[in-house]
Amino acid sequence: MDANTKYHQNKDAISLENTLINEAKVNAGKFEVIYDKYYPDLIQFIYYRTSDLDLASDICSEVFATALTKLRQYEYKGLPFSSWLYRIAINEMNQRFRKNKIQRTVQIDETIIAKLTDETEKDLDFEILRLALAKLDKDEMNLIELRFFEENSFKEIAFILNISENNAKVRTYRTLNKLKNNLTRQQS
């Protein structure tokens, strides 16, 4: 597929998404289409951070309830609607973690290890990576998860975390350096 075709498909998808959102702003019954489209990714996003399906379902329900309630305030800013949902989800999860003193979790598989490490660390042990990640604070983990687990752009990360795009880049690279230092210490 050439770049021109890909551009037009993306433009068509954004146009369709905006149409769905505008229809849902007028008729809440149309929100079901949005819910069906984003629910699978959002529940997975939340579950990976809670490791509790019931809690993830509760939080996901709150996210969609909040989104429906505040849908009229939503404005397209050149980002997928999912970015707005992820922003709401992170806020809701942080609130739950603080309120209930719940430990957030991180689920790691070989794909994640490959994304976070370079060729010199390809034989990295899960436990070593887990220990290195455990030394990151929640904001640093959010950056890592959004960039490498969810594969969001820096522009999307900036919107989700309510920071500038440049700040998202700088903080992500600083966090990666911190993670690499943590890995080096864990391997020693």
Q: What are 8-55's pLDDT values in tens digits? A: 456 677 788 889 999 999 999 999 999 999 999 999 989 988 888 999
Q: Mark whether 100 and 175 lie in a shared domain.
A: no
Average pLDDT over residues 100-126: 57
Q: Mark whether 28 and 17 lie in a shared domain.
A: yes
* Number of domains observed in the structure of the chain: 2
Q: Which of 72, 105, 138 is the last residue of a domain?
A: 105
Q: How many CB atoms lie within 10 A of CB 46?
A: 25
pTM for this structure? 0.71
Q: Look-up: residue for tokens 């594969």?
A: 151
Q: What is the pLDDT of residue 166?
A: 96
Q: What percent of the chain has pLDDT above 90?
A: 44
The encoded tokens of residue 136 equal 């990151």
Q: Look-up: residue for tokens 């500038």?
A: 164
